[in-house]
């Protein structure tokens, strides 16, 4: 795995929901290297730090990458104003992606802006994949059509019950884990959701991989700011979300550390 640094033209820009944008860039060498769950650290003119944004789709054939991101502050707002024909300043692909077993049924769980990185897994596993997606309300729903087209089953949940199941993703997750022979759950989303997903997986004895988020610096493992507490062989230590993650085996993660 290697990464690149350069400017790559935006060939498609779309607004998916209020404050959520999708951009496809022409970046053949990145697409060749990229794996589901990896991210790119994207430069924004006028800001010291790059913005880590997960890769939503990898099209090796056409040499493109898709990013879907939410405006969280001034940096991502500036990023969202870039249009087709302009370029994204990309450092990537970075980090460790999801490790997907071949030919086995899996469940992907995405919460809010944690749904985009799961789409590439769905693309790769299609009919073996069940997607359980959670959003705050109907206005925040993104990528529903893509998931529904790719996956064997797509379950929607909203916090307010405006669409799909009323409540957390964990109820349909537990139900699916009990009835189907799934070999893995992959999840990305807010911390409370990840904690609940991990607990549900433990109860059902199914392995789980989670993608974590942390305030980041370099993106390549040099500065050690994006740490998360992990445990291996009974020993607790800080791992780097950018380099050792962002995807971790659930049993290694210690939240709140």
Partner 1 sequence: MVDLSVRIAGVEFPNPVIAASGTYGNGECYTDLYPLSKLGGISCKGMTIEPKLGNPPPRIAETYSGILNSVGLQNIGVHGFIEYYLPTLKEEGNVIIANVAGAVIDDYIAAAEALDETDVDMIELNISCPNVKQGGASWGVSCEGAGSVTSAVRRATKKPLIVKLTPNVTDITEIAKAVEAEGADCISLINTLLGMRIDINSHRPILKNNTGGLSGPAVFPVAVRMVYQCYKAVNIPIIGMGGISVWEDAIEMMLAGATAIQMGTAIFNDPYSPLKVIEGIEEYMDRNNIKSLTEIIGQVKPW
Q: Which residues bind partner 1 (CB under 8 A)?
A: 2-5, 43, 47-50, 75, 91, 214-229, 237-238, 243, 257
Helices (H), the chain: 28-33, 74-80, 116-125, 144-150, 170-179, 191-203
173/212 with CB nearer partner 1: 212
Backbone φ/ψ region at 143: left (φ over 0), alpha (ψ -120 to 50), beta = left
Q: Which of 186, 119, 193 is nearest to 150 (CA)?
A: 119
In the bound state with partner 1, the residue whose beta carbon lies nearer, of 73 and 103, is 73
* Cβ 240 to partner 1 shortest distance, Å: 9
How far apart are CB 3 and partner 1 at their closest, in Å? 5
**Residue 12 or residue 32: which is nearer to partner 1 going by CB?**
32
The nearest distance, CB 49 to partner 1, in angstroms, is 5
User: Closest CB to partner 1 among 176 and 211?
Assistant: 211
Name the minimum Å distance from CB 27 to partner 1. Answer: 15
**SS3 string of 163-195?**
CCEECCCHHHHHHHHHHCCCCEEEEECCHHHHH
Shortest distance, CB of residue 96 to partner 1, whole angstroms?
15
Please name which of 54, 79, 82, 77 lies closest in space to residue 67, comparing C-alpha atoms.
Answer: 54
Angstrom distance (rounded) from CA 184 to CA 134: 19
Q: 64 or 76, CB closer to partner 1? A: 76
């Amino acid at each position: 795995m290697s990464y690149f640094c350069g400017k790559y033209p935006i060939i498609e820009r779309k607004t998916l929901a209020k404050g959520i944008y999708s951009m496809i860039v022409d970046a053949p060498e990145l697409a060749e290297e990229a794996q589901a769950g990896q991210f790119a650290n994207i430069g924004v003119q006028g800001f010291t730090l790059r913005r880590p944004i997960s890769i939503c789709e990898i099209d090796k054939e056409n040499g493109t990458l898709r990013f879907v991101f939410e405006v969280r502050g001034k940096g991502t707002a500036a990023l969202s104003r870039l249009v087709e024909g302009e370029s994204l300043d990309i450092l990537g692909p970075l980090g460790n992606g999801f490790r997907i077993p071949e030919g086995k049924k899996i469940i992907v769980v995405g919460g809010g802006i944690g749904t985009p990185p799961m789409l590439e897994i769905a693309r790769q596993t299609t009919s073996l994949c069940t997607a359980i997606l959670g959003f705050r309300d109907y206005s925040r729903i993104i990528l529903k059509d893509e998931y529904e087209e790719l996956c064997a089953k797509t379950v929607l949940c909203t916090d307010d019950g405006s669409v799909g199941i009323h409540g957390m993703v964990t109820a349909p997750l537990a139900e699916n884990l009990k009835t189907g022979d799934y070999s893995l759950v992959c999840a990305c989303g807010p911390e409370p959701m990840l904690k609940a997903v991990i607990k549900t997986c433990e109860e059902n004895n199914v392995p789980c991989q989670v993608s974590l988020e942390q305030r980041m610096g370099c993106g390549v493992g040099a500065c050690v700011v994006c740490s998360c507490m992990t445990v291996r062989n009974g020993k607790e230590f800080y791992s780097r979300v950018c380099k050792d993650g962002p995807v971790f085996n659930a049993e290694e993660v210690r939240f709140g550390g």
